[in-house]
Amino acid sequence: MTKKFFAASLAFIAVISPAAVSASVKWGSAALRQPAEWYASKEAREDADSVLTYQSDVGAWPKNTDLFVPVTDATVADIQKEGKANTIDNGATTTPIRFIALVAAGGAKDAKYREAVLRGVDYLLASQYANGGFPQFYPLRESGYYSHITYNDDAMINALELLRDVAQANPSFAFVDKRRRERARDAVARGIDVILKTQVRQDGKLTAWCAQHDEVTLAPAWARAYEPPSLSGDESVGIVRFLMAIEKPSPQVVTAIESAVSWFRAVPITGQRLESVRREDGRNERFLVPDPAAPPLWARFYELGTNRPLYMDRDSKPHYDFSEIGYERRSGYNYHGTWPASLLEHDYPAWRARIGSPQVSP
């Protein structure tokens, strides 16, 4: 975010009172799940006005920021210092676009809401690589993993789902013009293409995806020191759900889904339960303990080539025993979860019922 943007944003503070902070709805995904009539309320418009002040000059929003709290000098300084601006990480940009679109669709007559949505859509379209992938931050940063194609925390999938809603002129995006809808449709098609190209093949079989892939070679890539090139038991679930929502999937998409489902079924951790102990510093230290009756768990990272659960501390050394990871990471990172469970139990059977018995291509 530029100094010019923040100067413009701070000018809004004078007209947004502390009362504009919603007392009943908190910023985040909950802001997208309110009754339809709420988005036509004065409260919703005041919240939307606050969200607008955080939109940057390139059309994006910062992450990890309560956008219902009126922007201040301290907020601006924190966004700049922590490098939070202009990203699709952690729901940034896509959540604000959806929220403002709901307020606009709720009857707000001021054109500023629709204009903000269009600028946000334009940002997503501009940030997409020609190969269909999305970086975590745009404009691109000079160094680091931020330019990789980012499935991590569903960043790219959030962008593609929003653009798909735009392309289909879903109710809250019905005002978007035909040209942008066509561009959004093309962006989604290219996104699907790179998803298919980045699905990792091992021993001739398609498996899952890494949380991030090199934006040029499309190979699995490093992120932070404890996030190695690997197969993701978490992000791969969001990718499969996105592919399952395609109304008429191609044989290649069907193969991608079936292959990922087969991989999920092959790699769960069984006979162990994830247990937490709350320490004096308030953090939960996690352990795996034997339990024959425990439901299946999946690892966040699986080693490429072996499918072994993989764990790392900040020294980037591989471990295969969770107990070898230090307290700081075991208490501060989710190395295990049940992410694929509902996909396998509910989503996949429903998808198979919808499309019939698919013919999986080799």
* Residues annotated catalytic, as ranges: 90, 224
Cβ neighbourhood burial of 189 (10 Å; 0-12, 13-18, 19+): exposed
Our CA angle for 123, 124, 127, nearest 5°, is 85
Nearest to 155 by CA among 173, 138, 134, 141: 134
Nearest to 330 by CA among 269, 270, 287, 266: 287
| DSSP line for 281-294 | TS-EEEEEEE-TTP
Nearest to 231 by CA among 256, 194, 201: 201
| DSSP line for 21-37 | S-SS--SSGGGGSS-GG
How far is it, in rounded angstroms, from Cα 212 to Cα 217?
Answer: 12
Q: Which two tokens stand for residue 125?
A: 């379209």
Give the torsion through C-alpha atoms of 114, 115, 116, 118, to 10 deg: 90
Q: Is 173 left (phi over 0), alpha (psi -120 to 50) or beta?
A: alpha
* End-to-end CA gap in the chain: 47
Helix, strand or coil, per DSSP, at residue 337: strand
What is the DSSP code (8-state) at residue 87?
B
Our CA angle for 172, 174, 177, nearest 5°, is 130
Backbone phi, psi, residue 148, to 5°: -65, 155
